[in-house]
Amino acid sequence: MSDETIQELSENFALFDDWEERYRYLIDLGRNLPHMSEDQMQDVNIVRGCTSRVWMVLGVDDNGCVQILADSDAHIVRGLIAVLLAAYQNKKPEEITVLDIKSYFRKIGLDQHLSPNRRNGFFAMVERIHSFASSASGVSS
């Protein structure tokens, strides 16, 4: 995946006239993500609260930035992971804890066009990232 920002993704979503095209774009974003290795796809890395299977590994690099590796068995969910990476990848934990992902979620239109299960799964991933970032920065979530 390219290093698109959440702002660039918002602008790209706005280029499409209907949600069928936006879903195709979301799926294409997911196709560009690297796949996790089998040894990373273990129960300890599963994100609870997602209908689809989602694995997520979080860490902090030498610069103190959060690194996220995530994968799913569902194409649309992989696209949602790409949205999360645009928002959170390579950010300091303190930046992650203050980012208002819900406003971007609304701006892109995902709040109206995802099923409740997908929406809940998206925010389960957000919660996992926020929890990690809070721990990494020493801030209570």
Structure tokens at 36: 């996790």
Residue 77, domain CATH:
3.90.1010.10
pLDDT of amino acid 16:
87
The total number of structural domains that make up the chain: 1
Catalytic residues: 50
Answer whether 92's CB lies under 8 Å from 65's CB. Answer: yes
pLDDT of amino acid 93:
96
**Residue 50's Cα: distance from chain center in Å?**
12
End-to-end CA distance of the chain: 29
Q: Is residue 28 part of a domain?
A: yes
**Domain carrying residue 14:** 6-137
> Nearest Cα to 74, choosing from 137, 121, 116, 108?
121
Q: Is residue 1 part of a domain?
A: no
Q: What string of pLDDT tens digits covers the 141 residues of the chain?
A: 445 788 888 888 889 888 889 899 999 999 999 999 999 999 999 999 888 999 999 999 999 999 999 999 999 999 999 999 999 999 999 999 999 898 888 888 888 888 888 899 999 999 999 999 999 887 544
Helix, strand, coil distribution of the chain in percent, nearest 5: 60, 10, 30
